[in-house]
């Protein structure tokens, strides 16, 4: 009875063995499985031009800067998620000049739906979809948008450089 149960657990695609003779042939089944994989590429540093900041300050507008990039996923539907973190306190999205802190916001969009989605620091985004066919992208298919609110621009001290690091973690699930 135990041998019968064990025999039924053997996959139907088992190798076949050859028999002795002038020729002999056997078969093997080859299997390959890959885990869900993602890749983010074509990222560029973002610099806010002083002229753009001056104009935003004088008009009361927020200022946006964007970076086209590429995300690839091998999920059957091309799905992926983004989790962004800043280097401020508690992973906040902030720029710092060594003394003062300037907040910024992050948004993300992908080419398939073209919807702009606000990203909260440390929180996994809604599902996005990639149309990239390989991990090394030829064409950008997503857009990172960083916004400095006007109130933050007004609080900036002249001739001071504010810097920060934004980390984008892409996950397949």
The reply to whether 144 falls in a domain is yes
The reply to whether 28 falls in a domain is no
Give the pLDDT of residue 9: 52
Please write the tens of the pLDDT for every residue from 21-54: 999 999 999 999 999 999 999 999 999 999 999 9
The reply to whether 92 falls in a domain is yes
The reply to whether 13 falls in a domain is no
The reply to whether 54 falls in a domain is yes
Domain carrying residue 69 = 38-171
The reply to whether 22 falls in a domain is no
CATH of the domain at 161: 2.60.40
Single pTM value for the model: 0.84
Count: domains in the chain:
1
**What is the CB-side half-sphere exposure of residue 30 using CA atoms within 13 A?**
0
The reply to whether 81 falls in a domain is yes
Q: Are 114 and 102 in contact (CB under 8 A)?
A: no
Span 133-160, mean pLDDT?
A: 94
Give the pLDDT of residue 14: 82
Largest CA distance in the chain: 91
User: What confidence tier does 11 reach under pLDDT thresholds 50, 70, 90?
Assistant: low
Give the pLDDT of residue 6: 46
Model confidence at 12: pLDDT above 90: no
Please write the tens of the pLDDT for every residue from 64-119: 999 999 999 999 999 999 999 999 999 999 999 999 999 999 999 998 888 899 99
Q: Which helix (H) or strand (E) holds 80?
A: strand 79-86
State how beta strands 142-148 and 105-110 pair.
antiparallel
Burial of 73 (0-12, 13-18, 19+ CB in 10 A): buried
The reply to whether 17 falls in a domain is no
């Amino acid at each position: 009875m135990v041998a019968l149960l064990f025999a039924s657990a053997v996959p139907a695609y088992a190798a076949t063995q050859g028999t002795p003779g002038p020729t002999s042939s056997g078969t093997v089944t080859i299997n390959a499985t890959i885990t869900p994989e993602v890749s983010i590429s074509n990222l560029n540093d973002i610099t806010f031009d002083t002229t753009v900041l001056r104009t935003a300050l004088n008009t009361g507008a927020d200022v946006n800067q964007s970076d086209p990039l590429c995300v690839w996923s091998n999920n059957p539907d091309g799905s992926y998620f983004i989790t962004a973190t800043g280097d401020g306190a508690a992973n906040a999205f902030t720029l710092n000049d060594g003394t003062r802190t300037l907040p910024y916001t992050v948004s993300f969009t992908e080419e398939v739906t073209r919807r702009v989605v606000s990203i909260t620091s440390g929180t996994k985004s809604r599902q996005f979809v990639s149309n990239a066919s390989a991990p090394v992208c030829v064409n950008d298919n997503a857009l990172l948008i960083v916004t400095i609110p006007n109130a933050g621009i007004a609080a900036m001290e002249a001739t001071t450089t504010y810097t920060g690091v934004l980390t984008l973690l892409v996950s397949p699930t």
